[in-house]
Structure 1
Amino acid sequence: MTAIVQNKLPPEMCGETHLPGMAPALAHDWLRVDDAYEQQMRRRIELLDHKRADVLWMDPAALGAAQEVLDAALAILPAMGFSVAGDYVICPDGRRVAINPDHPLLTMGYLVQEDICLMQKRGDAHVLVGAVLCFPASWRLAEKAGKPLIGIHAPVPEYDAQLAKRVQRLFDGVRDGQPLWRYNRLWYDDPELHQPRSATAPRRISPDQSAAPFIRSERQCVVRMPQTDAVVFSIHTFVVHA
């Protein structure tokens, strides 16, 4: 697989920000197309075709929420260079993708660069009920499926009970039509986008992270779905030379 390394990060992602320090985004701006679209989509298609069990999962009870996410995406894609016609979509790279309402997250995986994590409130916490996760940053979907927010972030040392409460309030408070966004910054020796890693074998990080040759940055959006009240956590990944 050819390394996908972009020239630079978007200007708004060149500072430092951390959860829960999020900023408001425009209603449609939880999906983007950038100059790496064609290359990233080739990698996504490869993973969805050959490693689907590793990158796609959904609780059957979440089908309605996933269908709403797909419908929301289809409504904004035409402004991003897509053509939506009946039961298929023509993508910016010329591909024709069938709209499969029975497999909405799979359809999303073939359409957009973003990984999509679908969260629904169960009890007092939002739980991961489905995801298409082709580009994980050192975590595995199989280990996080069905878990609440604090379980998804374990074993991140900084994610203590107090921060977990603040993040839960954020997920509770995000409003329909008013997405929130943040970004992170990680240093990697390898530009590969697909970086699954078990929580039992965490990535070893050098004390001098900035010595690594690549910066991996994720633009993360939190989006409320109005009908099912589900929350989407979308992740757009960039890899640039450090």
Structure 2
Amino acid sequence: MTQSAPILQSHIPQIQRDRAAARLPSMVPVAPGDWLQVDDAYAGQLAEKARLIAAHRDRVMACLPEARDAAAELLTVVLAEIAMRPDFAMVGHGIRRPDGVVVSPDPKDPLLTLSQLVQEDLCILQKQGDEHVLTAALLCFPASWTLAEKIGRPLTVIHVPVAPYDDGIAARVQRLFDGVQPGRPVWRANLLRYEDPTLFQPRAEADQRPVGRPDSAFERSERQTVLRLPGTRAVVFSIHTHVVRRGAISQG
């Protein structure tokens, strides 16, 4: 299935390609004001989120009872972040997005409101015992995993199908989640070749993604950011997905 042009980005930033080449977990600090990003696929990707939620909300959104306060806090943090950006504007009780659409925030449905404002998918993880557990997520653009198999699971179980994710990397990632501080987010990136540019690509753990070939037509890169919410102390793992046709020129 070929996605329409507005859903595909024109390029993957060179800084993101460089981060993708680094070894796991390869996290670096996020520049001030650069946590949430808006690119040339903003309108198309938010329209695709709205379509996916309308068609099968339960497959792309989940919030366990223990995550409700964290989800509400995440919305508050995002609203504060976009209030400082020139491409968003307050219009009465609503928010005008960069594409001109006005969104009225609903504090009773924070994940839905977030889906209407940001390109990023957002996962909330909370410490339970020795590990962080996925307790809520807005996951419209999964890259070969399913929310149903991961919700309520700790990091080590979530990453079971990931070949390079050995005990050493698992310990480093857990230390990262334990140590990340409010106001000091960090990020990394990946870069894979895909035959199919579809953003919504859920796959069960037993159904591994076909490995992209050197001549695959598309590249898919996730800018993955980790930050801590100051109130609930939950960790947010955000994912900004780029999909480009091979041969697109890198910029930035």
TM, length-normalised to structure 2: 0.91
Of 174, 184, 203 in structure 2, the residue corresponding to residue 168 of structure 1 is 174
Q: Which amino acid is 1:98 matched to?
A: S
Of 210, 218, 222 in structure 1, the residue corresponding to residue 226 of structure 2 is 222
Q: Which amino acid is 1:151 matched to?
A: V
Where does residue 58 of structure 2 map in the other structure? 53
Where 1:108 maps in the other structure, the secondary structure is: helix
Cα deviation, residue 30, structure 1: 1.8
**Unpaired segments ≥5 residues, structure 2:** 247-252
Please list the CA deviations of residues 24-64 of structure 1 after superposition, one character each: whole Å capped at 9, or x if unmatched.
11343221111110111111110111111110000122111
Where does residue 92 of structure 1 map in the other structure? 98
- Counterpart check, 1:37 vs 2:42: yes
Cα deviation, residue 85, structure 1: 4.8
Moved more, 166-175 or 71-80: 71-80
Is the Cα–Cα contact under 8 Å of residues 74 and 84 in structure 1 kept in the other structure?
no
- Counterpart check, 1:201 vs 2:201: no
Please list the CA deviations of residues 61-115 of structure 1 after superposition, one character each: whole Å capped at 9, or x if unmatched.
2111111111111011131511235643221112222211121111101111000
| Identical columns (%) | 49
- Counterpart check, 1:213 vs 2:217: yes
Whole-angstrom CA distance in 1 between matches of 2:225 and 2:148: 22
Q: Which amino acid is 1:224 matched to?
A: R
Where does residue 13 of structure 1 map in the other structure? 16
Is the Cα–Cα contact under 8 Å of residues 9 and 39 in structure 2 kept in the other structure?
no
Q: What is the aligned length?
A: 240
Where does residue 249 of structure 2 map in the other structure? none
- Counterpart check, 1:232 vs 2:236: yes
Whole-angstrom CA distance in 2 between matches of 1:150 and 1:28: 31
Whole-angstrom CA distance in 1 between matches of 2:16 and 2:36: 15
Q: Which amino acid is 2:61 matched to?
A: L
Whole-angstrom CA distance in 2 between matches of 1:157 and 1:150: 12
Please list the CA deviations of residues 113-153 of structure 1 after superposition, one character each: whole Å capped at 9, or x if unmatched.
00000011111101001000000000000100011111111
Whole-angstrom CA distance in 2 between matches of 1:58 and 1:73: 17
Residue pairs, 1:171-182, within 5 angstroms = 171-182=177-188
Whole-angstrom CA distance in 2 between matches of 1:97 and 1:149: 33
Whole-angstrom CA distance in 2 between matches of 1:118 and 1:80: 27
Q: Which amino acid is 1:227 matched to?
A: G
Is the Cα–Cα contact under 8 Å of residues 22 and 181 in structure 1 kept in the other structure?
yes
- Counterpart check, 1:126 vs 2:129: no
- Counterpart check, 1:81 vs 2:83: no
Whole-angstrom CA distance in 1 between matches of 2:46 and 2:59: 17
Is the Cα–Cα contact under 8 Å of residues 143 and 198 in structure 1 kept in the other structure?
yes
Is the Cα–Cα contact under 8 Å of residues 10 and 40 in structure 2 kept in the other structure?
no
Runs of at least 4 residues off by over 3 Å: 84-87
Please list the CA deviations of residues 142-175 of structure 1 after superposition, one character each: whole Å capped at 9, or x if unmatched.
1000111111111112112221111000111111
Where 1:165 maps in the other structure, the secondary structure is: helix
Is the Cα–Cα contact under 8 Å of residues 27 and 179 in structure 1 kept in the other structure?
no
Q: 1:33 to 1:217 in 2, by over 3 A?
A: same
Whole-angstrom CA distance in 2 between matches of 1:86 and 1:102: 19
Cα deviation, residue 222, structure 1: 0.2
Q: Which amino acid is 1:38 matched to?
A: A
Whole-angstrom CA distance in 1 between matches of 2:86 and 2:15: 19
Whole-angstrom CA distance in 1 between matches of 2:178 and 2:32: 17
Where 1:129 maps in the other structure, the secondary structure is: strand
